[in-house]
Structure 1
Amino acid sequence: MVGGSEMVLPLVEETARIDVRAVETGRVRVSTRTETTEQILRESLRSDGVGVTRVAINRTLAEGEAPPKVRTEDGVTVIPVLEEILVVEKRLVLREEVHIRSTTSNDEVEVPVTLRTQRAVVEHVSPDGHVAEQPSLPEETTS
C-alpha cells in the first residue's frame, strides 16, 4: 500500500497448448510378383533284381547222406529242393536246385520341374499421385 490507497497489479500468465492432427504425406502400396523358372532335376535311380534258374539234378541221395543245405556259390544262392519218393524203400532224391542271382542297375532320370519365386514390390504414392518404387532387397545367395 502506498499512501493508503490500494493498488491492483494485473498478473498475466501465458499457457501453451499442443494439438496433433494427421497430415497425409503419401501412401505405400505393396504387391507381390511370382516368377517361374524351368529346371531339370537329375538323379540316379538304383534298382535291384533277381534272376531265378532251375537246375535239374535228379540224383538219389545215398543211404545216410545228409541233405544239402542252402548255400552261396560265386554270389549265387543255391536252394536245394528235396522230394521223398516211395519205392520199396524210402529214398531222398535231390530233385532240383534253385539258383538265385542278384543284379543291380542304375538309371539316370531327368524330371522337369517349375520353381516359383515371389518378390515383394513396394511403391510409395505421394499426395500428388506420383508413384516411386522402393528398390527391392538384394537376393540371398547360397554357396
Structure 2
Amino acid sequence: MPVIEEELTVGIREVETGRVRIRTVTHETERVIDQALASLDVDVERIPIGREIQVAPEVRDDGETMVIPVVEERLVVEKRLFLREEIHVRRRRTETRFQQTVTLRSQDVVVERDDDAASERSD
C-alpha cells in the first residue's frame, strides 16, 4: 500500500524589475570676447611703473617735464567651476509579507491486529 505525504518548500527568488542608467552630458560652448582695450603711447622717455591703479591720474607738470600717464586696460578673464546640481540616488529595499493558505495532506498508516481472526484459527 503506497504511503503518500505532501511537503511544502518555500523559497525566495530575486526578480529584476528594471534597470537605471545615469549619465552626465557635458555641453561646451565657445564665446568670442570682443572688448575694446585702450592704450596711450607717447614718444618720450618711458618710465615703467607696472602697478594697478583704481583711477587714471591726470596729466601733470613736474617742473619742466610734462608727465602724461599712460594707462592700459587689461581684460582679466577668470574661469570658475560651479557646482550646478547634485543627483542623489538612494537604494531602498522593501520587504512584504506573503501569506497564502495552503492545504497539505498527510497519510498515516495504522496497523492493528485482528485478535478475533487469530482466535478462530487457533480453534
Is the TM value for this pair above 0.5? Answer: no
Instruction: State the TM-score, normalizing by the size of structure 1.
Output: 0.23
Instruction: State the TM-score, normalizing by the size of structure 2.
Output: 0.26
Higher strand share: 1
Q: Which structure would you say has the larger RCO, counting Cα contacts within 8 Å and 6 or more residues apart? A: 2
Higher helix share: 2
